[in-house]
Chains A and B, each alone.
Chain A
Amino acid sequence: MSRDNILHRIRTAIGRSAGQAVADPPPVRLHIPEADMESRIASMIVRIEALAGKAYRADTGKNACATVAAAIAGKTAVASNAPYLAECGITALPGVRSGITDRDELRQVCAAADIGITSADYALADTGSLVMLSSPQEARLVSLLPPAHIAVVPRERILTGLDELFTVLPNPAIQTSSMVLITGPSRTADIEQILVRGVHGPGQITVIMV
């Protein structure tokens, strides 16, 4: 009903007929700059710190695990089911819940935990962003409900920026039902333009690049 009506109104207004072929859209504009790994990591650190996040380098998964352990320091944490976290030994740390596959349980645990630990599919160096693709290994709420988020990212996953991301993933819908870019801690400036972190999502973000 409204569907056909609206499409008909559109076609009449713009002078097209149903199914009429379309000229090519303007060429895609993606320019990937040259940037070696060292400068990508350096840029990640600058960007994340500029957003009041913390960024660390770790030589090995073990070192990353030690950094996470220090951050947990007696608090409770929930880790996603990303195999990489288990490889680093993070899921075995005291205080860390992992391996949850039930939705309601995940919600409860995430709502109560102090820290959510995830990996990330990619990171974007020029903005300091994490790219999270939702999957059975990587649930959405782990990086969202707890007041702090720690992400452990293998360094080869650091891309230069959006242009490279959309070159690697020309259509993210093929891979996932949800891709989220996270750039710094949750924030608002809705009252008097005063910046407050951690309004609905995590107020603290830590990125460890392995």
Chain B
Amino acid sequence: MSAEFDQKIHTTLADANLQLAIYTATGRLKEKRVESVAPGILPDYQELRTQANAIKQHSIENLDHYLEEFERNVEARRGKVVYCKDATEVADFVLGLAKERRARLVVKSKSMTTEEVDLNERLEHHGLESVETDLGEYILQLAHERPYHIVAPALHKTRYDVAEIFTRTLHVPNEIVIEKQTAIARRVLREKFLAADIGISGANFLVADSGAVVIVENEGNARLTTTAPKIHIAVAGIEKVIPRAQDLATFLKLLARSATGQLLSVYTSFLAGPRRPGEIDGPDEFYVVLLDNGRTKLLPDRTKRQSLYCIRCGACLNTCPVYRKIGGHSFPWVYSGPIGAIITPQFMGVAHEPSLPFASSLCGACGEVCPVKIDIPKILLELRSDVKKSETREKQNRIEKLAFRAFAFLMTHPRLYELAGRMGAAMAPSDGGSWIRNLPAPMNIGPVRAWLSQRDLPPPPAKSFREMWRRR
């Protein structure tokens, strides 16, 4: 495990306030999800999951076809599709367009995809002001932090944190009432919306048969982002494409429920091209950036490519006992929780943080709630195997490798296994059968020490089961 990962986990676990904040927030989202998919409310929940999974599978299996269909339909409605292979290409495209159109201000609505490519930083670096407009994202932009959660980005911030951030960066009087904090953001951002030249959004779905971008949100900032400025750019991963507008009926029923327990999010925008003749408002120019950024690397393997089915609902984070302890910032990249644990190693390479796929008790809660039925635990297991295959011959890994060789040897030689077990038992201290709390230094090493750092250890019994069985 990298020292950084270890350290972040430790710091988060040690922060009692943060622990409570994460646990309460995710707990609430988790409960609301459960209520909203209960059989009395959504009787065909499981069939919808199966359908959503089947559509995603089909879309990914024919990804080139649907992207081309999408592209044709966008362009037929005077929109433009731009394929980008990485962060630099996205930034170059936006900067180039901004320069041509003499744009100075960009408003952005929430998009994990643009987080992935650090778009704000890249634009700001070239003197283009870029403002996040989702309340949570705005707070984090002011605080220079990454989203803590893919749905509730500022989950770790209290009203007091927000008050401090606002007074420091916006020079407004200290305000700790949440309604009033929201009003401050509304006022500041309203001006930005009306002054912005370009609006950049993400996309929840790209609809091939319509050439439409679908964006789901609660605040109205995505609507403003895609309506007020004259130019709208949607940045989406290539995996977001689905075949038909009619498939939205399936996905929309699942997405908001899984994310926040709402039946539908407040605003679902289905945007197909720039404004048409006679329309009074809406953008004059409409671009869709289709981003690869490592996604094509996930395609060859049939199991692992399921990771691309994700609709970023965040349900797996809220239900994950690991996320609920270590929070979002412990994760080594922008995506956190179970989905982060499976896509980070695949996008960035397993060496990025080799221990990430191991940071799971494999409880399976994520797979159970995933609305598109990604088999997250199975992918974690495959990634663990990938990590082991790719590992270098560093000392720690060599010891582990040897240990598992020895394990396999013993477990295929029952007599030696029995002997080894009895030897271990003979070495262990026997204290009238009570559980072990401490061990003398030479024995208190490796996994035993790690175990004892948190819990007591059962003492080996006087006789193993097989001995008892023989003598009964």
Q: Which of B21, B219, B262 has a CB less than 8 Å from the CB of A199?
A: B219
**A10–B291 alpha-carbon span in the complex (Å):** 12
Q: With an 8 A cutoff between CB atoms, is A206 at the interface?
A: no
Enumerate B205-242 residues with CB–CB distance to A below 8 Å.
207, 209-212, 218-221, 223-224, 227-228, 238
Q: How large is the interface on B (under 10, 10 to 19, 20 to 34, 35 or more residues)?
A: 35 or more
- Give complex CA distance A103, B14 in Å: 54
Residues from chain B with a CB closer than 8 A to the CB of A62 are none
User: How many angstroms between the C-alpha atoms of A136 and B282 in the bound complex?
Assistant: 11
Task: Check if B299 sits within 8 Å of A181, measured CB to CB.
Answer: no
CA distance A83 to B62 in the complex (A): 44
Chain A interface helix/strand/loop/mixed: loop
Contacts of B64 in A (CB 8 A): 7, 10-11, 14, 16, 18
Q: Would you give the shortest CB distance from A151 to chain B, in whole angstroms?
A: 14
Q: Is the CB of A173 within 8 A of B73?
A: yes
What bracket does the count of chain A residues touching chain B fall in? 35 or more
Contacts of B224 in A (CB 8 A): 144, 200-201
| A162-B253 contact in complex given A25-B55, A172-B270, A173-B210, C-beta closer than 8 Å | yes
B159 CB–A CB distance under 8 Å: yes
Known: A2-B83, A135-B279, A189-B152. A10 touches B219 (CB 8 A): no
Binds A, one of B132-140, B384-392, B453-461: B132-140
Partner of A188, one of B47, B135, B157, B248: B135
Q: Contact: A201 with B223, CB < 8 Å? A: yes
- Complex Cα distance A107/B194, Å? 8
Known contacts: A13-B299, A129-B264, A191-B135. The answer to whether A178 contacts B83 by CB under 8 A is no
Q: What's the least CB distance linking B396 to chain A, in Å? A: 34
Q: List 26 A-B contacts (CB under 8 A).
A: A6-B83, A9-B296, A10-B296, A20-B65, A25-B55, A81-B280, A111-B190, A129-B264, A135-B279, A139-B281, A172-B270, A173-B73, A173-B210, A173-B273, A177-B279, A178-B227, A180-B270, A181-B267, A183-B262, A185-B266, A187-B266, A188-B218, A190-B136, A199-B221, A200-B219, A200-B224
Kindly list the 8 A-B residue pairs having the minimum CB-CB distance in the complex, ordered from nearest.
A201-B220, A13-B299, A190-B136, A173-B272, A173-B210, A200-B220, A136-B278, A3-B83
